[in-house]
Amino acid sequence: MTGDRVAVDTAAVWPDDADEEGGYVANWFVREGATVEAGDVLCEIQVEKVSIDVTAPVDGELVEVTLPDDAEFRRGDPLGYLRPTAGSGR
Amino acid sequence: MAEATEPEQTPRELTMSRAMVEAIATEMRDDEEVFVMGEDVADYGGIFDSTEGLLEEFGHDRVMDVPISETSFVGAGVGAAQAGMRPIVELMFADFFGVCMDQIYNQMAKNTYMSGGAVNVPMVLMTAVGGGYNDAAQHSQTLYGTFAHLPGMKMVVPSTARDAKGLMHAAVRDDDPVVYMFHKRLMGIGWMPAPDGPKRAVPEEPYTVPFGEADVKREGSDVTVVTLGLHVHRALDAAASLVDDGIDAEVIDLRTLVPLDAETVLESVRKTGHLVVVDEDYRSFGVTGEIVASVAESDLDALEAVERVALPDVPIPYARPLEDEVLPDADDIEAAVETVVE
Amino acid sequence: MPHSTELEEMYGDMVTARHYEERLQEEYLEGKQPKFDISAGPIPGELHLAAGHEPAAVGVCQHLDDDDTVTAPHRPHHVAIAKGVDLKRMTAEIFGREAGLSGGKGGHMHLFDPDVNFACSGIIAEGCPPAVGAAMAADKRNTDAVAVSYLGEGALEQGGFLESLNLASVRDLPVVFVVEDNDWAISMPKERVTDVADGSRRADGFDMPGERVDHNDPVAVYEAAERAVGRARAGNGPSLIEVQVHRRMGHFMGDAQGYRPDEEIERLDRLDPIPRTEERLRAEGITDDRIETLRELATDRVEEAIEWAKEQPKPAPGAAHDDVFVDSPAGPAAAETGGDD
């Protein structure tokens, strides 16, 4: 069910001054199935040579990595999905 | 502090650079005497990310950008260490040792001995090594042999994030000077992609990897491959491929050159009879020769065959086909293994 | 003041250098987008481009002949162009080709063209001592050749520079030290690494003339260099010139410049020395048509060099073992090393 999953969004962390509309995944730091807290660093992406840490938007379980290490993506593509922990306020 | 056991289920993996930074940050929180200085270590976070994020927590007083004056700031590290502080000094590329070698080998390495043990130099000299990205002769060297040859400096070379963190904790706490050489290609920098392997599950709590303990990264019965740094991963690739030829290779990661764990190497050679030593440094007068000699000296009869895989004695060329020709890769290791096992 | 032919030559080299760096940037980024992997693409490794540094190159080199020596640092292309380094072979070197100046062994930080006595080194300030040595050779042989050592303002804190000033000074050697002050040593602004804002004052400590050119203007550089090179040629010893230049790009092409304020980069656009030099050309009566022609000549020259370089074959892998010595040691040990990979 996609309904209760929260996307890890690339557009939300896009640098304001970037001209490029594409980037790539440098490193994931957690694997599918891991439980994370909101604010934990999930992965590092790179846009125009700038490295950006992407953090978990909610407490929950990383249920899917859609863009693995080295994957290229367009702005707005989801990196993966979290299933929020019940009662995490989302 | 006891060494942590490898956790089965750590949700978090780190790149090597982040693991190093985590150890440095912990040591800085625990001990006001620890500080970092080097070129571009503050606002830039280290050209190879070795100090990324430290400025934000500790400020410019404890994470110091310094002028391009290596003799002065490496030497200042020596002086501050002798005054009882625990500086972590970054020399941006090991290749730059040339402009400050006196401070490294005539001061940092010798002051303890020359003073009859009356002074000590608890500093970490952290520096980037390695080629493989066409940076040519002045920015690609892996000078393990040059530094390990000179008495008075401990010397560590991590190959994984987990070892990198434990070795950094141990290096900062050590009462002697420690040269901490990290291979650029292992750091997990966005613009210099790492091979699979160095990024590992890393325990959150502090732990040390003791000096002088090599790590058997892969057990095997037919041949002993001894290496360090990036070439641990090249050797593991070779070992995986050699399985198809029915060859079972043991891969030993030295992790520290000074002190050197000759015992683990010897035990393995006694088991396999075949030795291949691999590194990215120049072939002559270096690590490969030293390992072979130490085995031969201790138990010549255990050695049936031996090969060295290293850079031929040429400066590192720029163009891709030329650099590929001289840098050892997994295929070169495989070929050497096949030669000794035959 | 340079006469109008000289002004045209200087402008021609400036636009050649600028177009060169912009084209190299394009070539360099090929195969590196969106994933920036420094070892990928037709030009791998680090690339340090000098857009915004042109006046320092052309204003000094206008006074030099092939017999004069120039040493440059890791950011060398504009100086090489102004010194008359073979552009095609330099480009082939940067592309790692067999026809390159060093057969692909050196790369962009290590360009050597003995025909025009040009060399560079990627180690900060380490081109200074060899320049002193070239001057020493000229002095001993009683030629009127001079040596010029280029370095960045970040290099002024390095021992090799300060020791070279002293040696050149005490021996009255014909050297000109040219400091390109682009305000940044990678991420470190000048004020964080020195209290001496005017680098030309370093000369005072060695009892040598020092002069700062405060604006990025080729004519002002030309005039300062005329004095300094003239002194050297006349046997009156070394000088130091510092030129304010602009680093319009990152330190190297992998540098995202997160430490650098955007406003500064915008300000540098307004201070671009190329349009300002065009104004000067017009003031000297050089027509817009002529300026356009000079630009086209520069563009064509660069395009031709890049096209030629890319057509050249890559070096044979075995060539990596040659050139360690000009006179290779014979014997079994050498044969074994040479044949090993």
What number of CA atoms fall less than 13 Å from residue A66's CA on the CB side? Answer: 15
What are the tens digits of pLDDT across the range C130-174?
Answer: 999 999 999 999 999 999 999 999 999 999 999 999 999 999 999
Asked if A17 is an interface residue toward chain C (Cβ–Cβ < 8 A), one would say yes
Q: What are phi and psi of C111, to 5 degrees?
A: -95, 130
d(CA C265, CA C254) in angstroms, rounded, equals 17
d(CA C54, CA C219) in angstroms, rounded, equals 12
The CA–CA distances, whole Å, from B6 to B11, B201, B203 equal 13, 9, 8
**Taking a C-beta distance cutoff of 8 angstroms, is the pair B294, B269 a contact?**
no
- pLDDT given at position B10: 61
Instruction: Specify the CATH number for B215-341; select among 3.40.50.10090, 3.40.50.920, 3.40.50.1370, 3.20.110.20.
Output: 3.40.50.920
C242 bridge partner residues: C179, C212
CB contact under 8 A, C122 and B138: yes
Going by pLDDT thresholds of 50, 70 and 90, the confidence category of residue A4 is confident
d(CA C124, CA C127) in angstroms, rounded, equals 8
The mean pLDDT value of chain B amounts to 96
CB contact under 8 A, A27 and B191: no
Task: Name residue, tokens 């020359």.
Answer: B114
What are the tens digits of pLDDT across the range C192-233?
Answer: 999 999 999 999 999 999 999 998 999 999 999 999 999 999
Tell me if residue B29 falls in helix, strand or coil. Answer: helix
In terms of DSSP bridges, do strands B178-183 and C69-72 run parallel, antiparallel, or are they unpaired? unpaired
Which strands, in side-by-side order, build the sheet including A50-55?
A: A50-55, A41-47, A22-28, A72-74
Residues of A in contact with C33 (CB under 8 A): 20, 22
pLDDT at A23 over 70: yes
**Taking a C-beta distance cutoff of 8 angstroms, is the pair B223, B303 a contact?**
no
Q: CA of B325: which chain C residue's CA is closest? A: C317
- pLDDT given at position B26: 98
- Could you tell me the two tokens for B23? 């150890």
Enter the CATH code of domain B13-201. 3.40.50.970
CA distance C95 to chain B (A): 8
Interface of B with A in 191-210 (CB under 8 A): 191, 193, 199
Q: Is C247 a catalytic residue?
A: yes
Name the strand (E) or helix (H) holding C92.
helix C87-94
What are the tens digits of pLDDT across the range A67-89?
Answer: 999 999 999 999 999 999 876 55
Q: What are phi and psi of C16, to 5 degrees?
A: -65, -50
Mutate: best of C28, C33, C251, C264, partner A, most A CBs <10 A: C33
Going by pLDDT thresholds of 50, 70 and 90, the confidence category of residue C330 is low
Q: Which chains touch C (3 or more CB pairs under 8 A)?
A: A, B
- Taking residues B213-217, report their average pLDDT: 98
- Taking residues C319-334, report their average pLDDT: 80
Q: CA of C126: which chain B residue's CA is closest? A: B99
d(CA A64, CA A7) in angstroms, rounded, equals 9
- pLDDT given at position A3: 59
Amino acid at C294: L
- pLDDT given at position A87: 62
User: Considering the entire predicted model, what is its pTM?
Assistant: 0.95
- For chains A and B, what is the number of CB pairs under 8 angstroms? 31
User: Per-domain residue ranges for chain B?
Assistant: 13-201, 215-341
Q: Considering just the CA atoms, what is the radius of gyration of chain C in Å?
A: 20
- Taking residues C19-38, report their average pLDDT: 92
Residues of C in contact with A24 (CB under 8 A): 34-35
Going by pLDDT thresholds of 50, 70 and 90, the confidence category of residue B193 is confident
d(CA B82, CA B77) in angstroms, rounded, equals 8
pLDDT above 70 as % of chain B: 97
Q: Which chains touch B (3 or more CB pairs under 8 A)?
A: A, C
**Taking a C-beta distance cutoff of 8 angstroms, is the pair A67, A73 a contact?**
yes
Q: What are phi and psi of B332, to 5 degrees?
A: -65, -40
Q: Which chains touch A (3 or more CB pairs under 8 A)?
A: B, C
User: Per-domain residue ranges for chain A?
Assistant: 6-84
- pLDDT given at position B290: 98
Which strands, in side-by-side order, build the sheet including B305-311?
A: B215-218, B249-253, B223-227, B274-282, B305-311
Tell me the H-state helices in chain B: 16-30, 54-62, 70-82, 101, 111-114, 144-148, 161-173, 230-242, 262-272, 287-299, 320-326, 330-341
Please list, in sequence order, all residues whose beta carbon lies within 8 angstroms of the beta carbon of residue B324, skipping any fewer than 6 positions away.
C317
Residues of B in contact with A34 (CB under 8 A): 11-12
Please list, in sequence order, all residues whose beta carbon lies within 8 angstroms of the beta carbon of residue C106, skipping any fewer than 6 positions away.
B136, B137, B318, C93, C100, C112
**Taking a C-beta distance cutoff of 8 angstroms, is the pair C228, C239 a contact?**
yes
- Could you tell me the two tokens for C265? 């980069």
The mean pLDDT value of chain A amounts to 88
ipTM computed for the complex: 0.94
What are the tens digits of pLDDT across the range C65-96?
Answer: 999 999 999 999 999 999 999 999 999 999 99
Of B61, B50, B138, nearest to B94 by C-alpha is B138
Q: What fold, for C4-339?
A: Rossmann fold (3.40.50)
In terms of DSSP bridges, do strands B13-14 and B200-201 run parallel, antiparallel, or are they unpaired? antiparallel
Amino acid at C80: A
CATH class of the domain at A6-84:
mainly beta
- pLDDT given at position B9: 54
Task: Name residue, tokens 């641990």.
Answer: B232
CB contact under 8 A, B13 and A70: no
Q: Is B139 a catalytic residue?
A: yes
